[in-house]
Amino acid sequence: RTMSVINRKSLLVLLFILASWITFTVVQNSAKLWTTLKLPISLHHWNYFTNSLCPDASLNPVVSLAETELRIKKIMEELDQLVPPRPFTHMNTTTSAAHSRATLLNPQDTYCKGDQLDILLQVRDHLGRRKEYGGDFLRARMSSPALQAGASGKVTDFNNGTYLVSFTLFWEGQVSLSLLLIHPSEGVSALWRARNQGYDKVIFTGQFASGTSHVNTDCALLLNSSAELCQYLDAQDQEAFYCVKPPQAPCAALTHMYSKNKEVSYLSEQERSLFERSNVGVEIMENFDAISVSQCNKKRVPTKKKCKFGMTSTIPSGHVWKDTWNPVSCSLAPIKMKECLRGKFIHLMGDSTIRQWMEYFKSSINTLKSVDLHELGKFQNLLAVDLDKNINIQWQKHGYPLIGSLIYSVKDIEYLARVIDRTGGEKNTIIVISLGQHFRPFPIDVFIRRALNVHKAVQRLLLRSPDTMVIIKAENIRDMDADMERFSDFHGYIQYLVIKDIFQDLNVGIIDAWDMTIAYGTNNVHPPQSVVRNQINILLNYIC
């Protein structure tokens, strides 16, 4: 009997050990399993993008490098579905703006402010034949130049050669409608294939210090060379940039960089004809008369709440009236800039479109003084302070790739994820990030990886300092006479969608510069001061 009791106790001990081991294993793997289950974030919800209303979404475990690769692959697969291959045999078979037909649905003599105006578009080729598939890159806009008013329209693609173009009539007066064929679907397909085919559309030249002289070598995101290479690696996120190692200088001696477009194209000669200036941004509704919009004594629109983080994004996101931006889902209050910025540290990170903000701040606040950081060149870091109001504003360029025909210093260049990781953050710290223009000439995986890595860094920042305010400034549209293979707005639009998808789970603010610059009709990579002023007004409403 004593032996029997001992055996039962031994069995219970063994069962307890086994149960403890199973529990430990489940706990250890649950985080990994949960992250895997949450990875796919559908790009089909682009048109309904909203910021997360649930701050707990930012508390997910930090993803591993393997999971980042999986996420990149998933996003690229969904983008490939969005831009399927289209046959291109002859210019005559491509979409023609002149032959396409736009029909006003439910036409009226006078429209009422607040109404929706719909247009049915049926696209045809240059021989007048109906197209049987969609994918054309279109841009809809309504405007009243005399009122300094404008807004984008919403385009719905039915993927059968038919589109619905919808305008919200935001203001009274005479309104002109525009629908541009930026690229036919065949051109979109060609651009997508060409973009993801090579990393060498822009070639970089690195300058190395060698004693009292300098040595120049080729640099790139990817170098197909048998020569010894210098690898400039971000070990944490595995992003790299390469230079051919000069014979008489170490890799650490890289000091400056400049770039130029390389004489290489992944488009056929026939495809390149689609991107001649005369074929880009062609008006489809050239013969449409202006429409008349009246107040119509409708009920007063309810007062909108002040703009803040987490509000629903709409298409269009707002309109311009009397040169002032008016969001759809919230209201912007007039805010005194200097008082709002008192005690604030503003980190502006990214490209030259966010550097414009620094220039605007300095011209608008006369007590803001530039600090000489003893740097030279176009992309030098900038710092301005107001000691009395305790205002600090700085601009810092993002890491490679950084395109510039003028030589610039890379002595202090680093990836934004590392800058964000070094930022302590608190309620008076504001970070504004702008990425896009410099990534357009390179395969989309470069941009997706960068956006994901910045996202992870912001996620870490909000875990340790949840009061920190982070704002993402979306990409601007740019001029239509640029090199389309490298800098087309189609590339920018894809990146705009990627950014919104990736950051939708974090409690960050979004400044929809894409929609705003369409509304303003500013086809310039550096929009005018009025656009910058309205972008900054959104920032001030977010933080004050």
Q: Is residue 33 part of a domain?
A: no
Query: For the domain that residue 134 is a member of, what is the CATH number?
Result: 2.60.40.10
Asked if residue 211 and residue 163 are part of one domain, the reply reads no
pLDDT of residue 251: 97
Residues 6+ apart with CB under 8 A from 330: 304, 305, 306, 307, 308, 311
- Specify if 308 maps to a domain: no
Q: What value does the mean pLDDT take over residues 137-155?
A: 98
Residues 364 and 413 in one domain: yes
Residue 43 CB coordination number (10 Å): 18
Does residue 299 register a pLDDT over 50?
A: yes
3-class secondary structure, 394: strand
pLDDT given for residue 373 in this prediction: 86
* 466 lies in the same domain as 388: yes
Does residue 37 have a pLDDT over 80? no
Q: Is the pLDDT of residue 403 over 50?
A: yes
Whether residue 249 sits in one domain with residue 112: no
Residue 371 maps to a domain:
yes
pLDDT given at position 11: 53
432 and 499 share a domain? yes
Instruction: Give mean pLDDT, residues 51-72.
Output: 62
- Among 10-24, 455-469, 485-499, where is mean pLDDT lowest? 10-24
Q: What is the structure's pLDDT at 315?
A: 92
Instruction: Work out the average pLDDT over 414-442.
Output: 97
Residues 289 and 350 in one domain: no
Q: Residues 287, 334: one domain?
A: no
Q: How confident is the model at residue 480 (pLDDT cuts 50, 70, 90)?
A: very high
Q: 218 and 102 in one domain?
A: no
Q: What is the pLDDT of residues 227-266, one digit of tens each?
A: 999 999 999 999 999 999 999 899 999 999 999 999 999 9
Give how many domains the chain has, as a whole number: 3
The answer to whether residues 169 and 242 belong to one domain is: no
Do 385 and 530 lie in one domain? The reply is: yes
Whether residue 380 is found in the same domain as residue 478: yes
Task: Report if residue 238 sits inside a domain.
Answer: yes
Flag whether 499 is in a domain. Answer: yes
Task: Tell me, yes or no, whether 187 lies in a domain.
Answer: yes
Amino acid 312: pLDDT: 77
pLDDT, residue 297, reads 77
Please give the pLDDT value at position 248.
87
Percent of the chain with pLDDT over 90: 80
User: Does residue 175 lie in a domain region?
Assistant: yes
Which structural domain range is residue 460 located in?
A: 318-543
Determine if the pTM surpasses 0.85. Answer: yes
